């Protein structure tokens, strides 16, 4: 009986301690003021050995983000995606594809079939 009372008392004290611990954090989080968000980045990759060609650029200021990325598809087309995001309309993207003159499509894989001798076991 004594152990049950101790467990209940410990649970009660833990609940009160947790409430007093988390309440100031929740209050503090609601009071925080955030600085305006602003960034820009871009990169371009052009690897002649693997044929990997792609890039991206993006800029954000507060709730408005705009960007673009491109890549060369295996069929020899350049795919460019231009996008924007804002708090009111959500994510909007436009996709544009155009053939690349003189682009050699990626070689198709060659599948080799190996002849493996089959051993037959005969039971008499």
- Please, which residues have CB within 8 angstroms of residue 72's CB and are 6 or more apart in sequence? 51, 53, 54, 78, 79, 100, 103
pLDDT number for residue 60: 94
pTM (predicted TM-score)? 0.55
Per-residue model confidence as pLDDT tens digits over 11-53: 555 655 555 545 555 555 555 677 888 999 999 999 988 888 9
Q: Print burial letters for 79-108: b (CB count within 10 Å at least 16), e (below 16).
A: eeeeeebeeeeeeeeeeeeeeeeeeeeeee
CA distance 86 to 89: 6
CA distance 75 to 124: 58
User: Do 92 and 84 meet the contact criterion of CB atoms below 8 Å apart?
Assistant: yes
Indicate the SS3 state at residue 31.
helix
Angle at 109 between CA 80 and CA 102, to 5 degrees: 45
pLDDT number for residue 74: 84
pLDDT number for residue 29: 55
- Please, which residues have CB within 8 angstroms of residue 4's CB and are 6 or more apart in sequence? none
């Amino acid at each position: 009986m004594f152990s049950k009372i101790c467990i209940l008392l410990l649970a009660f004290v833990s609940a009160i301690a947790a409430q007093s611990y988390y309440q100031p954090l929740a209050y503090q989080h609601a009071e925080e003021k955030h600085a305006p968000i602003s960034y820009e980045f871009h990169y371009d990759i052009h690897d002649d050995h693997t044929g990997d060609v792609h890039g991206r650029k993006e800029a954000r200021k507060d709730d408005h983000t705009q960007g673009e990325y491109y890549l060369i598809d295996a069929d020899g087309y350049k795919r460019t995606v231009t996008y924007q995001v804002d708090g009111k309309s959500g994510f909007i993207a436009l996709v544009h594809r155009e053939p690349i003159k003189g682009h050699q499509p990626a070689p198709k894989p060659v599948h080799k079939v190996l002849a493996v001798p089959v051993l037959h076991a005969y039971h008499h």
